[in-house]
Structure 1
Amino acid sequence: MKKTNRPLVLASVMLAMFVGAVEATIVSTAMPSISADLGGFSKYSWVFSAYLLMSTVTVLLYGKLSDIFGRKPIFAVGILLFLIGSLVCGFATSIEELIFYRFIQGLGAGAVLPIATTIVGDIYSAEERAKVQGYLSSVWGISAVTGPAIGGMLVATIGWQYVFWVNIPLGILALLGVMLFLVEPPKQQKPSIDYAGAILLTVSLTCFLYWLVEGGVGFDWLSYETLLLLSGTVISGIIFVRVERAAKDPMMPFDIWKNNAILYANLVSLATGIIVIGVTSYLPTYVTGVMEQPATIAGFTLTAMSIGWPVAAFFSGRLLIKIGYFRTTLAGCVFLVIGTMLFVFMRPEFGPFWAAISSFFVGVGMGLTSTAFIVSIQAAVAYEQRGSATASFMFMRNLGSTMGVALLGSILNTSLLAYFKERGEDMSVNAINGLLTEKGRASLSLETLSFLQKGLSMSLQNVYGVTALFAAISFLLIFGLPRKKGA
């Protein structure tokens, strides 16, 4: 009988994860050029939100489908959708077209990352997974380091379209590697597909995530649209739970959440999703607007997190074997608390090195926890539920990032408006745009510059305070994990 070629499958899976993970950072670098070419700056954020929305909504569905039909066919469907989306993104002639194509890309991305991680859980033993999952976790950090550099180089040389097209040859190689060298066990039972559950889950999550992304931007938080979307979220969610409890083979098996290793890992994943999006979204704004550093220095402060993450992920696999899941994840959460608290105490005069150190500590915390959680979750369930369990972890992190974008953005805007109002200034949040470039700062009077920088600094301190709160919550949740060494 033909056997799985584990090294080649691992290389293919890491390549697939790199392509999916690098998409966020590589596109962010190209967005100024894309916006200048296609127009539609008011819809700028939807280029990111469309991708995040679809990948979050579908990740649980793909995880379950991979348990029913096997990893290979669902992985193939996901990566083909992702590659088709990447191809047409490069041909977009308007921002609206690009947003639609990003939906297609996100629809495929929802399968690539969780199934790639699940495949590794299938082909390696529990003892080997700790080290190998450390390699996979490091892909996230490496993609964050290389993404901006690759994106900047492509935009400067051959055009922003290649930011999307560079995915295609890499994705094809990853697909061929998995299809040719992965051998799966035959399915013994006839698949039972929970169509009703899939539809209800998609409706509920879409309503909720759309409200999070557009609330306070496309419509007021207290509005008819909010009432409609939240009603849709709650009603479809309640029906979904009832349908799942009665389903023969539910899309989301609730029994896996009864396992403490999965429940608490997923709750911490939700909180860390908020922390990561808070750092990556707003640290460059602080370094550029308040510290008056160029974009390259702002990028360096984020790169520090991207270095800490893969280094810690590499050592996390070894720590799991030596001290167990509980102590490894506890150490990770300690680093998250330290990193976020350093952000809270950051002041403009401390300079970008302080920001980089803070970022590095957060990266170390993410590297230690993410690897440990994936290994513990996959060890807690059988093969038939491993796809669903792994997808639930990915889903919670994505959900945390999506919630974080809305929550932290709202805190920042509200804090700025309150600052302006308290000081009797009739300014909009858009006034901050003048701080983000050297030319913009030069056009402001010293008094206005100081006023805006103080307001931005105070408002971002509120944002960092919330991220520190979620780090503290993560630390407390760790104590719900099983504490037996090797469990």
Structure 2
Amino acid sequence: MTAPASPRLPFAMLMLLLVLGALDQTILATAAPVMARELAGNWPIAWVFSAYLLAATVVITLYGRLADVRGRKPVLLLALGLFLLGSLACALATDLRQIVLARALQGAGGGGFMTLSMLAVTDLFPADEQGARKASLGAAYGLATMFGPLAGSWLVQALSWHWAFLVNVPLGALAWVVLARTLPAAPPARTTDGRASIDHAGALLLAAALAASLLATQHARLGLPAWITAGLLVALGAACTLGFLWRQRRARQPLLPLSLFARKAYAAASLLAVASGVALYAAVAFVPQYLQAGLQLAPTRAAWHLAPLMAGLTAAAIASGRLLRAQWPVARLARLASAAMLLAFASLAAAVRWWPQQPLALSAALAPLGLGLGGMFPVVSMVAQRAAPAQHTGVATAVPVMLRSLGGAFGVALLALLLGQDVAAQMRALHGAAEAYAHGLQQVFAGGMAAALLGFGAAGWLPARPRAAPAGP
């Protein structure tokens, strides 16, 4: 398989896919209240967000395995097709039940965009260019995440909430046609015995484990009673996780080969993915909450205070890709990224302690966090791919993406619990809202510092310059 004469057009379409997928995770932040007023039904509006998150996370590893077995191009086109159908169904929904189900379909497609785009880059560019190209994709994703709430606000005010979904249809259809014509059709990977298949039982167990676990983290938004979370969902998630691990040890063609984690470099990349997920969502979930609930800033103005985070992420992702192309030691780059994240959370904790009424102090502290995250993302992707045998490249690329999402979901759930308890205690002590939130956020940022330290420790397992893994299990 050879790269196309000009890979720029298909690469632009891959970037467009990531932009659309990122927008659909945040664009409803400002459109949801309008949807809740206009749509019939009594389903919680929070399910519109959670349905996408749940479906997108559940399918990540399955897409990686499908890419190994069926080939990357057809699986990417399948994911994009599901995303387009889900977007159209969302736009045409007339009640909350319909749009929740449509969002699940949309997430089932969008959940494959990051993994499959990163895999497609390996079909488009030579090895020495792939780090920089993947960094550009990560930067585009970060910028789109930042501007999602602003885009949603503009679409609702200028047109209607339906356009938050309709905008995906022509752009996604264009990407589908272009990629179908220009993306190289790399042959699917094969195992050493020449056969490859999908572990359907493993896929069902993993889906059930992720679904139960993610629902447990979302119970407050979904209006589920606490006893369901503490009992049924947690127990079901644990049981399915154990069943999945048991199945993976015995399956002839496992969905997720556990032997990958026996490779120190891959285990390190997985831990870095978890750490970066906790760090990213600790900032984007709680800083805007403090700015709006504590300092009473408008949502649009609060969103702009995240600009240093996204600017730093974009710049560092591009720089990291170039450094990797120049054969910079990945362990050193990962340590520098972790150190920047640690500095950022220490600065954020200092800002809410000493300057709680100054949002610009928070904004300034977010810049090194963006630098750290932007530097980390290309390292994780490159190390994960090179540490895995060729027949497992797809699933090896998908797992860190899934772990980043899970790290964010579980990290935010735990930190939100700590924040809520601390804020309630501070309010009972007759402190103001801003002071109470500022005090609680110090625990949140301490959690972010712990994630950064985890990343710093995991960086010690990385080789100076990862080489392609030999074929094998």
Q: Mark yes or no: TM-score above 0.5.
A: yes
Give the whole-Å Cα distance in 1 for the aligned partners of 2:247 and 2:466: 38
Q: Which residue of 2 aligns with 1:285?
A: 289
Give the whole-Å Cα distance in 2 for the aligned partners of 1:359 and 1:284: 12
Give the whole-Å Cα distance in 2 for the aligned partners of 1:173 and 1:50: 26
Give the whole-Å Cα distance in 2 for the aligned partners of 1:225 and 1:464: 26
Residue 363 of structure 2 aligns to a residue whose secondary structure is helix
Q: Which residue of 2 aligns with 1:474?
A: 455
Of 123-132 and 163-172, the range deviating more from structure 2: 123-132
TM normalised by structure 2 equals 0.90
Residue type of the alignment partner of 2:30: T
Give the whole-Å Cα distance in 1 for the aligned partners of 2:216 and 2:224: 9
> How many pairs does the alignment contain?
460
Give the whole-Å Cα distance in 2 for the aligned partners of 1:382 and 1:178: 26
Give the whole-Å Cα distance in 2 for the aligned partners of 1:378 and 1:40: 45
Give the whole-Å Cα distance in 1 for the aligned partners of 2:208 and 2:237: 7
Q: Which residue of 2 aligns with 1:54?
A: 55
Q: Which residue of 2 aligns with 1:214?
A: 219
Change (3 A) 1:293 1:192: closer
Q: Does 2:298 match 1:317?
A: no
Q: Does 2:39 match 1:38?
A: yes
Residue type of the alignment partner of 2:444: V
Give the whole-Å Cα distance in 2 for the aligned partners of 1:200 and 1:165: 34
Q: Which residue of 2 aligns with 1:161?
A: 162
Unaligned runs of 5+ in 1: 426-449
Q: Which residue of 2 aligns with 1:337?
A: 342
Of 310-319 and 45-54, the range deviating more from structure 2: 45-54
Q: Does 2:251 match 1:247?
A: yes
Change (3 A) 1:18 1:217: closer
Change (3 A) 1:2 1:323: closer
Residue type of the alignment partner of 2:104: F
Residue 286 of structure 1 deviates from its aligned partner by: 1.8
Q: Which residue of 2 aligns with 1:194?
A: 199
Residue 43 of structure 1 aligns to a residue whose secondary structure is coil
Change (3 A) 1:363 1:251: same
Residue type of the alignment partner of 1:43: P
Residue 215 of structure 1 deviates from its aligned partner by: 6.0
Q: How does 1:62-141 map to 2 (within 5 A)?
A: 62-141=63-142
Q: How does 1:80-479 map to 2 (within 5 A)?
A: 80-187=81-188, 189-214=194-219, 218-219=223-224, 221=226, 223=227, 225-320=229-324, 321-347=326-352, 348-349=355-356, 351-421=358-428, 423=429, 451-479=432-460
Give the whole-Å Cα distance in 1 for the aligned partners of 2:143 and 2:35: 24
Q: Contact 1:317–1:371 (CA<8 Å) still a contact in 2?
A: yes
Change (3 A) 1:323 1:191: closer
Change (3 A) 1:346 1:388: same
Q: Contact 2:209–2:238 (CA<8 Å) still a contact in 1?
A: yes
Residue type of the alignment partner of 2:408: S
Residue type of the alignment partner of 2:13: S
Cα-to-partner distance string for 1:23-51 (whole Å, 9 max, x where unaligned): 12222232232233337798233222211
Of 74-83 and 237-246, the range deviating more from structure 2: 237-246
Q: In percent, how many aligned pairs have the same letter?
A: 29
Residue 403 of structure 1 deviates from its aligned partner by: 0.9
Residue type of the alignment partner of 1:303: A
Q: Give the alignment's Cα RMSD to 1 decimal.
A: 2.4
Give the whole-Å Cα distance in 1 for the aligned partners of 2:26 and 2:220: 24
Residue 289 of structure 1 deviates from its aligned partner by: 3.3
Q: Contact 2:73–2:186 (CA<8 Å) still a contact in 1?
A: no
Q: Contact 1:411–1:463 (CA<8 Å) still a contact in 2?
A: yes
Residue 230 of structure 1 deviates from its aligned partner by: 2.5
Q: Contact 1:340–1:464 (CA<8 Å) still a contact in 2?
A: yes
Change (3 A) 1:326 1:479: same
Change (3 A) 1:161 1:47: same
Of 284-293 and 193-202, the range deviating more from structure 2: 284-293
Residue 415 of structure 1 aligns to a residue whose secondary structure is helix
Q: Which residue of 2 aligns with 1:429?
A: none
Residue 432 of structure 2 aligns to a residue whose secondary structure is helix
Q: Contact 1:59–1:114 (CA<8 Å) still a contact in 2?
A: yes
Cα-to-partner distance string for 1:276-333 (whole Å, 9 max, x where unaligned): 1121112122223333444343122112211111111111012222422111111111
Q: Contact 1:220–1:226 (CA<8 Å) still a contact in 2?
A: no
TM normalised by structure 1 equals 0.88
Residue type of the alignment partner of 2:114: L
Of 225-234 and 64-73, the range deviating more from structure 2: 225-234
Q: Contact 1:122–1:383 (CA<8 Å) still a contact in 2?
A: no
Give the whole-Å Cα distance in 2 for the aligned partners of 1:204 and 1:147: 29
Cα-to-partner distance string for 1:177-236 (whole Å, 9 max, x where unaligned): 222112224456454221111111111211111112116974555x35532222222222
Of 284-293 and 357-366, the range deviating more from structure 2: 284-293
